[in-house]
Chains A and B, each alone.
Chain A
Amino acid sequence: MKENLKVVGHNAVRLDILEKVTGTSEYTDDIPFGPNLLHMAVLGSPYAHAEIISIDTTEAKKLPGVKAVITGEDYPEKFGLYLKDKSIFPVDRVRQVGEQVAGVIAVSYEIAKAAVKLIKVEYKELPVILDPYDSVKEGAVLIHPDLGNYEIEPWLEAQPGTNIGHLRRIRKGDIEKGFAEAEYIVEGEYHIPHVAHTCIETHISVSKFSLDGRLTMWNSTQSPHTQRHIMAQSLGMAHKDIRVIAPPIGGGFGGKAGISMEVMAAAGAKSCPGHPVKLRWTREEEFYNSSQRTGLRNKVKIGFRKNGKIIAFKHEMFWDVGASAEYGSNVVNATGFSATGPYYIPNVYIDSHACYTNNPTCSAYRGFGYSEFSFGIESTMDKAARIMGIDAVELRRINAIKEGEGVAYDVPMNPNGLVECIDKVAEEIGWGIEEKSDDSNKIIAKGFASVWKAPAMPANESSSAFIKFSEDGSINILVSGMDLGQGFITAMAKIAAEVLGLTLDKVRVELPDTDRNPYEWQTVASHVTWSCGNAVKRAAIDAKSKILDTVQRAHFIDKSQLYLEDNGVKCTTQDSFFIPFSDFVINGIQTEHNTWVGGPILGSGMFMPEYTNAMVDPDTGLGGNPMVHYTVGAGAVTVEIDKETGRMKVLKMAEAFDLGKAINPDLSKDQIVGGFVQGLGTALWEECIFDEKGRMLNDGFTDYKIPTIVDVPRDMNPILVEVPQPDGPYGARGHSEHTMIPVMPAVANAVANGLGVRISDVPVTSEKVAMRMNDPKYREEM
């Protein structure tokens, strides 16, 4: 790819930084809705698993200021992204603590809260399941007895009569033969707890059902079109009559993907027509009811030849998806296809189970399951390296998957720079170079991991874009991808500017509004730069062709001699020829006869991968092509560990990802740093802790610690590798989620390398390190 790029690939200040830094970004809660605004509060279940015997709302309805009280009797509809197992409000039973059983809409939040306390619910407690291993035990109480009757995507495999919402199997090659041929077999068993997204902005929806039958929603969301679609289905409305507006969002990380509390706000609005109704989660509700990251119990078994080559790989995953698998089922699916890590392996056996439990519902979280399963794989790889006497980084080089080699479902791997990522991270972290602490009580150790991730999407996900010119030659790009802070709008602006010869100050990208902006599936899966970027590029090419056509017809210069640069049209054969866009993109070009040629310039573009196929053989996972491509990378940490207290300090990190082409290198590096630090929280501290009744014991920032500005390494080294993606805009593929994935195993591997203690259950807390340091049960021979 030898293009002389003027905007793409060059650094720029993000286009929305001024509005962020001046506090003028109008987040959903900042929009004035006037005195007609009503407030909604919900009643959450105190039980993790219980039948609902009766709900009495009489007293709540009598409280002055209360406009409506709603329950599952009013809104029993099931909804969900992939598996419709969730109710707006449940009618039969509650399946997690905090599950909403009723909502109150009132003139103030205080009154709504007071009325919630007057609702009387009679429950009958049921046995509680909190661990995925218990969920799949013979005779376990069924959390969804109606699983067989739910609407489900055709590519998911629910197991009615069990607690398994979906089972993805991979059977590639001959696993028995593979292990029989292995000279070394290394195993491990791992546990990953639930963690929380903790966007600083909690979930919020303001919904208005107007008397002419329109539903308008202002949602803090990553998925405006998907929300509109689900809303249309569950409320029985036409898509055109529902308008979802996505104001700036205060953090997403997957937690605001799909749909959750917004359905309740819509139900509240439908009960009080003519009023906007605001539902905003408290921080506690955010922990319980905005979805968490899937928990995982997994067993990894890897067979190696003497030379370090992996010959057989078995991975059994029992995912704790919580009370609903409406979205989590796809985490289980995506990881079922990919839980080998970025290695070429001829014989693969994977079972990925979506286990219902009575923990909070889990859905998308940055990394979409790959952080969780990679912990086990990368820990086992390090164990194996030690046993075989092969350097841990070298072992990863030996097995790194190359372009054309078959992935777990036996489709050729895309072009990738995995070995380059491994080499650059090893060099930056000083792999193999011993470091000593100035403090004799402390040791310094390094840990490494290499990872991959593919976007997890329906096979026919799609993006589209409109570009419209204004009189001064500036453009507005209408797309429905969301800027979550990752720099989406800056990337889209640069792609369009590159094609159209515009300077960035001439470009504005509009946030989603489903009435006005064209379709986008969702801003998830680290796929919008690739997918929506392709749509924007095509829209820009469409606009460009209309511009060239106009100039050709007005000036009788062949299109092939015209090009766009410096906010106008130039000619390869006449140096002095230049028509600024502002001269003609709306009003056209005047001819010698005083007639006009042209008109307002518009461009449209769409993109859908046309080679994907999710319909695989359920027994083997083979026969389809469920993923568009994998992004690969590696990460490493240098950790200082106190030999007495186990206290750890990550001194340095390096991470490299092959993002195909960095549209904006600065912002891409920022994604690596931000994702690393989010991963560091999950590696060292973060864990949702539940008591035996399924109540969360740390539903606030005091007890659920996320990294502060003091906790982060002082030496962070993001590295970009660019092996172009053949179908990506300018070669780009996504990498924002991936940056979290190496951190948990890199930290655990550093601890094992430094102290010879293997921590197989994250977080790798100082307490665990101190308690297990001298316990032979956790010993890993050095």
Chain B
Amino acid sequence: MNHILKFNLNGDPVEVTVKSNEKLLDVLRDKLGAVSVKFGCGVAECGACTVLIDGLSVRSCITFAVEVEGKNVVTLEGLQADGPTKIQKAFIKHNAFQCGFCAPGFIVSATELISKNPSPSEEEMRHALAGNLCRCTGYQNIVNAMNEVAEDNRKGDK
């Protein structure tokens, strides 16, 4: 069955026809051009498809598109509307990614974490990002970049 789905994508209202069983991942990629959201497993095990729905990180590969009716969906494209964010700048400085396929999901998860907890401890940060798999980096540069963001935010608080 087809539905006319209306929601906000990266701040703009969108209207798109979807089937009842269509996943948000496929709608974002194939119908709305938000291709930073990646297919990695299809069953919420790798985190490459992570998006924010009303500020909370969600795996779009197991989310039915119809579930976001009237909600605010943000992908990496939306986060950097005004250029690279502080988190992205830290990732660039630390060469945080290699193949880069997991990067959008990591950045979305990291953004959620920092929005809730601007200066997490390293262990808090690691646990918050544990659902995002990276096969290339061994994670060390991601940790270094996030520690720098947390440290900078800590200084900013004082």
| Chain A interface (Cβ < 8 Å from any Cβ of B) | 13-14, 16-27, 29-30, 32, 197-202, 248-253, 280, 282-283, 484-487, 666-667, 670, 673-678, 700-702, 706-710, 712, 716
Contacts and interface: CB of A to CB of B under 8 A. Distances in A.
A710 B95 contact: no
A201 B99 contact: yes
13 contacts: A13-B92, A18-B92, A21-B88, A21-B91, A29-B29, A29-B38, A199-B101, A283-B40, A485-B97, A485-B99, A701-B45, A709-B143, A712-B139
Given A23-B35, A253-B135, A707-B139, 12 more contacts: A20-B100, A21-B92, A23-B107, A27-B38, A200-B101, A485-B98, A487-B98, A670-B138, A701-B45, A706-B135, A709-B130, A712-B140
Given A16-B100, A200-B40, A283-B40, A670 B133 contact: no
Given A20-B97, A21-B91, A30-B35, A677 B138 contact: yes
Interface stretch (B52-60, B65-73, B76-84, B150-158): B76-84
SS class, residues of chain A in contact with chain B: loop
A19 B29 CA distance: 18
A251 B136 contact: yes
Nearest to A27: B101
B126 interface: yes
A674 B138 contact: yes
A486 B129 CA distance: 23
B88 A22 contact: yes
Nearest to B77: A23
A154 B76 CA distance: 51
Given A20-B100, A484-B99, A710-B126, A673 B138 contact: yes
Nearest to B99: A485
B138 A200 contact: no
A29 to B, nearest CB: 7
Interface of B: 29, 33, 35-36, 38-43, 45-46, 48, 76-77, 80, 84, 88, 91-93, 95-104, 107, 126-127, 129-143
Contact of B80 (A22, A198, A707): A22
Contacts of B88: 21-22
A23 B126 contact: no
A22 B84 contact: yes
A670 B98 contact: yes
Given A22-B80, A485-B99, A201 B40 contact: yes
A170 to B, nearest CB: 34
Nearest to A483: B99
A7 to B, nearest CB: 16
Nearest to A487: B98
Contacts of B130: 708-710
Contacts of B95: 13-14, 17, 666-667, 670
Contact of B107 (A21, A676, A701): A21
Contacts, number: 157
B137 A673 contact: yes
A250 B100 contact: yes
A636 B140 CA distance: 18
Nearest to B21: A110
Contact of A249 (B99, B127, B137): B99
Contacts of A716: 138, 140
A251 B45 CA distance: 17
A594 B141 CA distance: 56
Given A283-B40, A283-B41, A283-B42, A17 B97 contact: yes
B136 A674 contact: yes
A674 B98 contact: yes
A701 B133 contact: yes
B97 A709 contact: no
Give the residue among B48, B80, B126, B137 with the most A Cβ atoms within 10 A: B137
The 8 closest A-B pairs by CB, nearest first: A485-B98, A20-B100, A250-B101, A23-B36, A677-B138, A485-B99, A701-B45, A673-B138
B25 to A, nearest CB: 11
B142 to A, nearest CB: 7
A283 B43 contact: yes
A200 B137 contact: no
Nearest to A676: B138
Given A21-B91, A708-B133, A200 B46 contact: yes
Contact of A25 (B92, B96, B100, B143): B100
A253 B136 CA distance: 9
A201 B37 CA distance: 12
Nearest to A708: B130
B14 to A, nearest CB: 17
A19 B126 contact: no
Given A21-B88, A30-B35, A709-B139, A201 B98 contact: no
B35 A200 contact: no
B97 A21 contact: yes
Nearest to A286: B41
A700 B43 contact: yes
Contacts of B107: 21, 23
Nearest to B132: A709
A670 B137 contact: yes
A248 B98 CA distance: 11
A295 B22 CA distance: 39
Contacts of B93: 13
Give the residue among A200, A249, A678, A712 with the most B Cβ atoms within 10 A: A200
B103 A21 contact: yes
Nearest to A252: B99
Contacts of A248: 99-100
B139 A701 contact: no
Given A14-B95, A20-B103, A30-B35, A670 B40 contact: no
Contacts of A13: 92-93, 95
Contacts of B41: 283, 700-701
Give the residue among A14, A20, A673, A678 with the most B Cβ atoms within 10 A: A20
A117 B137 CA distance: 39
Given A18-B92, A712-B140, A202 B40 contact: yes
Nearest to A703: B45
Contacts of A667: 95
A152 to B, nearest CB: 33
A282 B137 CA distance: 23
A201 B133 CA distance: 11
Contacts of A201: 38, 40, 99, 101
Nearest to B40: A200
Contacts of B46: 200, 283, 701
Nearest to B90: A21
A62 to B, nearest CB: 23
B76 A23 contact: yes
Given A30-B35, A253-B135, A670 B100 contact: no
A20 B96 CA distance: 10
A250 B84 CA distance: 22
Contact of A282 (B42, B80, B101, B138): B42
Nearest to B87: A21
